[in-house]
Structure 1
Amino acid sequence: MLVHPQIDPVAISIGPVSIHWYGLMYLIGFVLFIVLGRYRIKHSQNSVFTQEMLDDALFYGMLGVIIGGRLGHVLFYQPGYYLEHPLGIFAVWEGGMSFHGGLLGVFMAMVLVARKYHLAWLQVMDFIAPLVPLGLGAGRVGNFINAELWGRTTDVPWGMVFPYIDELPRHPSQLYQFALEGIALFILLWIYSSKPRPIGAVSGMFMLGYGVFRSFSEFFREPEDGFMGISTLGITMGQWLSIPMILVGIALLVWANNQKADLKKQKTKTKKNQK
């Protein structure tokens, strides 16, 4: 049995100013976004992205992640609490961000990027999708440091006691999510996007991959309250929110590959007519 190290959530304090580990994890995620994005721009032969576009995607994406993630947490998971403590909505440094809310925020933010540079929205999403998972993984490390979003009780040898919660061994579900949503999803998308794909395919793989990984990890994570209560039909809030992602991901992959097949047929037909 392991015991959570009870790391101080404040990484650095300088007078009245405190820098929290949770905030640093988000900063690491944004830095990784830029580093990986520059690599893709430099090494991709078919990328329409430029450095200026990447910088704008980061700026608008940061706003989408923070605003959407926070509002998603407030609305999906703890609407009652924040109705009684409205000022707590702004205490982002204390943790409490919803991925699904942040994803919706990023969707809206990338609409602005696509319009500014006259690109298709899915072109933008296909480019940024592989840049996102490592940032998600960093966020899960922040959850672990904060000892939040802990797992269900277990008797596995690596079960961890979170003293702030109780004395029961629990799954370190934050680390499971770090491994799946962060590392595994990054590897999957990076390899998949390394070859030319029809528009929408990389976005579809992201939606499908995250939805499956998140749904699986929810079996080990202590369910949270939400509009639908702790669970409905044995399905947690996180799984309910991931089901549409899985369906949309499958639909995007089918649509993208059908578009590719139709385009190939059209080219073949054109060549025959030219003979």
Structure 2
Amino acid sequence: MKYGFNMLLWSAHVTQEHAPILKALKRGGYDAVEIPIFEGSPDHYARLGELLDKIGLERSTVSVMVQGKHPLSADSATRKSALEWAKWVVDCNSALGAPILGGPMHSELGLFTGAGPTAAERKRGISFHRALGDHAGKKNVKLSLEALNRFETYFLNTMAQLADYLDEVDHPHIKAMYDTFHANIEEKDPAAAVKTIRRHLIHVHISENDRGTPGKGHIPLDKAYKALRAVKYDGHMTIEAFGRALPALAAATRVWRDFFPNRDEVWKKGIINMKQGWANAK
């Protein structure tokens, strides 16, 4: 098991200036960090990868389909633009030296049609992911698609929906993520949903019900750890927590108040929760 932390708690664009934070996470017992990719260039991420190598941190990445990049759109130009964006994210991911790109890379974040997904949208999504998977394969990258709660997307909300969709995509470089925050909202039994997605699972987000410090909310993380052990998961478990430091991200994630006294509490207590929880889940 590898323990990771998502850098979105500090920045949507990680640079050399974040070296002190990265070093602190390494000293604190983390094996990896998750780097957001929303801007920059492959060269930037290559240099950042060199820094992470020196510190001794493995890495994954996270991104979304930003405004105007909707792969399910009926408009061919919009779909083309979405694929170009996603390929650019994969290229940056590869330059960073990260084997996994996570996030809801399946539909424009926050876009709603007023109805559920259609058969035509599903067909467009499958075509998009097969093309993107081919590109990711050339870059030695695997996508870990994230099902989001129904307040953030209408396309993929549950582990069952995601598993069925990935069965149909049927691409070795298009896989799945399990996120405790979204599962807490959408699943009848959040822990049992791990078994539903196990055949595609390559990445995990540990996130509290309020996006704060793991173990200080009401999500039964102990059950999640047991479920992950039961399916013999052995990838990264990455804490994803959000605060108000980044106004744009706070607005996107609906963070209107502080969920923790300081950011140090999140990563210091978070790793204790994960390591003790994993050990007790035997």
Whose Rg is larger?
1
Q: Could you tell me the TM-score, scaled by structure 2's length?
A: 0.24
**Structure with the largest fraction of strand:** 2
